[in-house]
């Protein structure tokens, strides 16, 4: 490399000629923050190196899956071994059974689980299952929660509680979202009104328990409890989308966090992704036996996948789960995350910048506000210019946070105290620019 050549820019220009926007998932294009996306050439532990050979401390970790850090030796070993045995068979394998058993042993609300290849697919299938199992059509979701890009979920609130949603993407016919009701996150009053109006027609309520697609917003305990009670009362299935939070916020996932505050708390269906694949395309949905037996080939709800339960992906996921279930894993991960949050908060305070932080296990969020927001509308009042100054200031100093203010951050087991200290030192400089 010659010092004045920007290989990230060269690659981005080349990519834009052959891939829409130069990326295979929109947020990677840096549209929200401006500038040139970093093309990753390799990664190890807590770091990745971009096309210019520059090292970054990675707080995205593939948007959550890399909880052990990149290239963990036991995961690499498991994947190498699996690859030599074959890439894909389209027939069942013992490893799928092992992974299913492992997931169920860690998340007791599920009696059975089906493996698929992406969170989108898992969420979409969970909704079909809920509709098939209840014989009802309507579904309820919350503004700011992302459940993948299935048509029925690309929707924003209609004009009132009596009206259903409007599409948020071209190509989604209004008819397809006419059964989707969108409510404000953490608004108990609106939730109760919606159930009075539509509760008996609802197949399911789907929620991100800790919403990581509006940065980091927790469902309050009373709100969560009310969701559970109303679903039970009206016979709607309660779907926890734990694609991001699953095995990320605690060994038992977000449902275990809420069960501490609400005794006996359980969702009816859980959707998983990200960490369970350890960086390979793998996701899952599971729930109570009575619901899961509605799925084909046992029941009338169709669902299938050529690469579902892929032998390399399941090897990667299994090896990952076996590491994270070791004693003390989440205590250490959570302590590191808290240390980073306290460091960033301290740096912001020093510069007099309004700042609030929250985290659970290895997932975190920070806001340029004094108080933590409770819903999407508040998150979106963030000053974009200030956020972008923060993002690019950190990026220039080799720290990679999410290139959009509505995304969470992720700690891995590979991050060291020195990485955290380096991050906080960079933030101390950057906050002075705000």
Ligand X SMILES: *Cc1c(COP(=O)(O)O)cnc(C)c1O
Catalytic residues: 146, 241, 274
HSE-up of residue 430 (Cα within 13 Å, Cβ side): 23
Q: Mapping DSSP to helix (H, G, I), strand (E, B) and coil, where does residue 68 land?
A: coil
Extract the tokens encoding 340.
Answer: 């980073």
**Distance from the Cα of residue 20 to its chain's centroid:** 24
Q: How far is the CB of 347 from ligand X (least distance, A)?
A: 28
Extract the tokens encoding 120.
Answer: 């989108």
Dihedral-angle region of residue 115 (phi above 0 means left; psi in -120 to 50 means alpha; beta otherwise)? beta
Does residue 208 touch ligand X according to CB under 6 A?
Answer: yes
- Measured from the CB atom, the residue of 207 and 427 that comes closer to ligand X is 207
- Measured from the CB atom, the residue of 284 and 427 that comes closer to ligand X is 284
- Measured from the CB atom, the residue of 142 and 330 that comes closer to ligand X is 142
Q: Give dist(CA 191, CA 193) in Å, integer.
A: 6
Q: How far is the CB of 273 from ligand X (least distance, A)?
A: 5
Does residue 308 touch ligand X according to CB under 6 A?
Answer: no
Q: Give dist(CA 415, CA 12) in Å, integer.
A: 28
In eight-state DSSP terms, residue 307 is T
- Measured from the CB atom, the residue of 348 and 408 that comes closer to ligand X is 408
Q: Give dist(CA 201, CA 298) in Å, integer.
A: 25
Does residue 319 touch ligand X according to CB under 6 A?
Answer: no
Q: How far is the CB of 371 from ligand X (least distance, A)?
A: 24
- Measured from the CB atom, the residue of 128 and 147 that comes closer to ligand X is 147
Restricted to residues 66-85, the positions that interact with ligand X (CB under 6 A) are: none
Size of site (CB under 6 A) for ligand X: 15
- Measured from the CB atom, the residue of 110 and 426 that comes closer to ligand X is 110
Contact pattern for ligand X over residues 105 through 134, marking x by CB under 6 A: -------------xxx--x-----------
Contact pattern for ligand X over residues 330 through 369, marking x by CB under 6 A: ----------------------------------------
Q: How far is the CB of 308 from ligand X (least distance, A)?
A: 13
Q: How far is the CB of 146 from ligand X (least distance, A)?
A: 5
Restricted to residues 234-293, the positions that interact with ligand X (CB under 6 A) are: 241, 243-244, 273, 283
Q: How far is the CB of 148 from ligand X (least distance, A)?
A: 4
Which residues, 6+ apart, have CB-to-CB distance to 258 below 8 Å? 209, 219, 221, 224, 265
Question: Closest residue (Cβ) to ligand X?
Answer: 119
Contact 418, 343 (CB under 8 A): no
In eight-state DSSP terms, residue 125 is H
Q: Closest Cα to residue 166, out of 158, 202, 206?
A: 158
Contact pattern for ligand X over residues 139 through 158, marking x by CB under 6 A: -------xxx----------
Contact 147, 153 (CB under 8 A): yes
Q: Give dist(CA 270, CA 78) in Å, integer.
A: 26
- Measured from the CB atom, the residue of 147 and 198 that comes closer to ligand X is 147
Q: Give dist(CA 272, CA 246) in Å, integer.
A: 6
Q: How far is the CB of 368 from ligand X (least distance, A)?
A: 22
Complete DSSP assignment for 84-111 = HH-S--SS--HHHHHHHHHHHHH-TT-S
Q: Closest Cα to residue 421, out of 351, 353, 348, 339?
A: 339
Residues lying near ligand X in the complex (CB under 6 A) are found at 118-120, 123, 146-148, 208, 212-213, 241, 243-244, 273, 283
């Amino acid at each position: 490399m010659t010092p004045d050549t920007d290989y990230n820019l060269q690659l981005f220009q080349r990519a834009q000629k052959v891939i829409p926007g130069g990326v295979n998932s929109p947020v990677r294009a840096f549209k929200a923050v401006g500038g040139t996306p970093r093309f990753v050439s390799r990664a190890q532990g807590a770091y990745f190196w971009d096309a210019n050979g520059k090292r970054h401390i990675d707080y995205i970790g593939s948007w959550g899956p890399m909880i052990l850090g990149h290239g963990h030796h036991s995961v690499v070993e498991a994947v190498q071994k699996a690859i030599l045995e074959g890439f894909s068979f389209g027939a069942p394998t013992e490893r799928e059974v092992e992974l299913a058993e492992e997931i169920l042993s860690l998340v007791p609300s599920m009696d059975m689980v089906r493996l698929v290849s992406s969170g989108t697919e898992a969420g979409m299938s969970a909704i079909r299952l809920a509709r098939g199992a209840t014989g009802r059509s309507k579904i309820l979701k919350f503004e700011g929660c992302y459940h993948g890009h299935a048509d029925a979920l690309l929707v924003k609130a209609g004009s009132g509680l009596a009206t259903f949603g409007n599409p948020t993407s071209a190509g989604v016919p209004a008819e397809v979202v006419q059964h989707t009701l969108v409510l404000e996150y953490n608004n108990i009053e609106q939730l109760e009104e919606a159930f009075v109006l539509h509760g008996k027609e609802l197949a399911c309520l789907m929620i991100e328990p800790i919403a990581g697609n509006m940065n980091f917003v927790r469902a309050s305990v009373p709100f969560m409890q009310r969701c559970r009670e109303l679903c039970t009362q009206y016979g709607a299935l309660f779907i926890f989308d734990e694609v991001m939070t699953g095995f990320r916020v605690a060994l038992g996932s977000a449902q275990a966090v809420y069960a501490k505050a609400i005794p006996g708390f359980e969702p009816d269906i859980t959707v998983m992704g990200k960490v369970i694949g350890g960086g390979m395309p793998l996701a899952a949905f599971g729930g109570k036996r009575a619901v899961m037996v509605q799925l084909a080939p046992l029941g009338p709800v169709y669902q299938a996948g050529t690469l579902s339960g892929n032998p390399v992906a399941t090897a990667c996921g299994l090896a990952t789960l076996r590491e994270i279930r070791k004693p003390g894993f989440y205590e250490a991960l959570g302590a590191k995350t808290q240390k980073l949050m306290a460091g960033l908060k301290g740096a912001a305070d020093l510069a007099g910048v309004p700042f609030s932080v929250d985290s659970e296990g290895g997932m975190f969020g920070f806001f340029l506000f004094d108080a933590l927001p409770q819903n999407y509308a508040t998150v979106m009042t963030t000053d974009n210019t200030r956020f972008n100054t923060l993002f690019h200031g950190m990026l220039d100093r080799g720290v990679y946070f999410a290139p959009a203010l509505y995304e969470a951050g992720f700690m891995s087991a590979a991050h060291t105290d020195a990485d955290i200290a380096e991050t906080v030192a960079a933030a101390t400089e950057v906050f002075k620019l705000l």
